Each structure stands twice: as structure tokens, then as C-alpha cells.
Amino acid sequence: MRTLLRPRRSWIKWFEEAIDQSWIAYDRNCSERASQDISFAPPGLLARVALSAKRVVLLGASGFVGSAILKEALDRGHLVTAVFRNQGHFNPSQQVKIQITDVYDSEALAAVIVGHDALISAFNPGWKDPTLYADQVRGTTSILKAVKSAAIKRVLWVGGAGGLEVKPGVRVVDARDFPVAIKPGSLATIEALDQLRRESALDWSFLSPSANMKSGARTGQFRLGNDHLLVDSSGHSNISVQDYAVAMINELEHPAHIRKRFTVGY
């Protein structure tokens, strides 16, 4: 009964706070529902989503990793310009801007990426390329030149597991049984990290996967690390390419590894 004698102003304040909390709960529920069904989202929420959308250039969008990143970015409402080498590498029904550009032509690439908020590079000249190491290093050099020419500051890079340490001073790529076929690409990706570290004006992030990355479930549940290979309690090092893409877009939306390498695994 004592609460019934509460002063009128206190009742008004209590009522306003209760209304605020109800709207917060409603908005949170809308956000969760809208992530699964965008048609449910109220206009105010859609406006906030639109304001938070990033204009992103994605290189290597047709590849194993690039296609997963493309899907994740589009599903989360970002505006993606996907760069392909030729017209035969994309599905025209995708809601994405397509650019056919040679990454080795830094001037043409700069013209494509200018005006975007960030660039994500999943560039790989192809595992069957007989000059894989040289071509990948040349491509990295061209991409970074284009980025600087276009005044793009935020760069996210698809790295490899080969440069991660399994113990102090010993990298994955240093193992005697490391596959010979992918070693040139692994070394070229390590060189890409070295090139990024020399670019003091760029806000780059370099995401290395676990040792085994395959297509699988998008769980959103994983661990992040820095320079050391992540392994589970059974000694395995795994990540699905779908969860790798989640980690990459998380970093795009909420930068936490500026000018750093980080890794993702279960």
C-alpha cells in the first residue's frame, strides 16, 4: 500500500522508464527477427540497418573463401562490389554490383574501388598456377597500390594458416609434411602479411583460418586467436568457411584487430 502514496512525479518517471524498457525489448526482438526475415523489420530498424551498411569491394568473390564472404556480407545488408576476372565466374541473379577487372592492373582496379568504405581481398591466382608464388606476390603489390591510389584506408585480407606458429619460432608451413602443392601459395600469403605490415597508413586486418577449412555449418560459435594456430581439446584445428566468413564480416562491422593478424577456429 505504501507504493500507492508515491508522489505523482515518481509515478510518471517510473512509467516512462517502463515504456523505455518495453521499447528496448521490442527493438531487440525486431532485430533478431529481422536477421532471419527482413520483411518483419519495422521502418525505423531498416533505416538503422541502411545507415550501418558498408560499401565493400570484394576481390576473389568467385573463389571458395570469397563466395562465402560474399554471401555473409550480402545477408548482413552490406553493399558489395564484387570484382571478377571474367564474366563466366558469377551468377547474374545475385544482388551485387559486378565489376570485371584485372587485379594486376592497379590503375583500373583503383578506378573500381574508389569511394568504397573498405576492401576485402580473397585474391588467389589459382592453386594450379605454375608461377603461383610470383603471381600472388605481384597481385598483392598491385592491390595495395590501387588501395592507396583510391584512398581506401580499411583493408581486410584473407590469410592462410601456414604462417601461424605451432610453437615459438616454428610455423605450420615449416612442418616436414606440409603439402608441397600449396606451399608456394602459403609462402606468398605470408609475404602479403609482410607487405601489409609495411603499410603504415592503412588500417588493415589479416584473418588466418585454422589448418583445416572446409564447407560446413554457419554456427557463429568459434574462438579467436592471434599468431598461434588454434587447436581443440582433441588436437584438431578446424573451421568452416561459413564461420570464417562470419568472423571476417564481424571484423568489418566492429574493428578489433587493426594492423594485426588474427585467427579463427573451434
140 lies in the same domain as 169: yes
Q: Are 79 and 49 in contact (CB under 8 A)?
A: no
90 lies in the same domain as 25: no
108 lies in the same domain as 235: yes
Return d(Cα 112, Cα 125) in angstroms, integer.
19
**Which tens digit of pLDDT belongs to each residue from 99-109?**
999 999 999 99
**Which tens digit of pLDDT belongs to each residue from 108-153?**
999 999 999 999 999 999 888 999 999 999 999 999 999 999 999 9
**Which tens digit of pLDDT belongs to each residue from 68-88?**
999 999 999 999 999 988 766
Q: Count of domains in the chain?
A: 2
193 lies in the same domain as 95: yes
93 lies in the same domain as 41: no
Return d(Cα 75, Cα 81) in angstroms, integer.
14
Return d(Cα 96, Cα 72) in angstroms, integer.
12
Which CATH number belongs to the domain containing residue 109 in this structure? 3.40.50.720
**pTM of this prediction?**
0.80
Q: Are 99 and 112 in contact (CB under 8 A)?
A: yes
Mean pLDDT of all residues belonging to the chain: 84
Nearest to 197 by CA among 118, 127, 244, 260: 260
Q: Is 79 helix (H, G, I), strand (E, B) or coil?
A: strand
65 lies in the same domain as 122: yes
30 lies in the same domain as 62: no
59 lies in the same domain as 86: yes
Range of 8's domain? 2-47
57 lies in the same domain as 35: no
pLDDT for 26:
37
Any bridge partners for residue 84, and if so which? 100
pLDDT for 85:
80
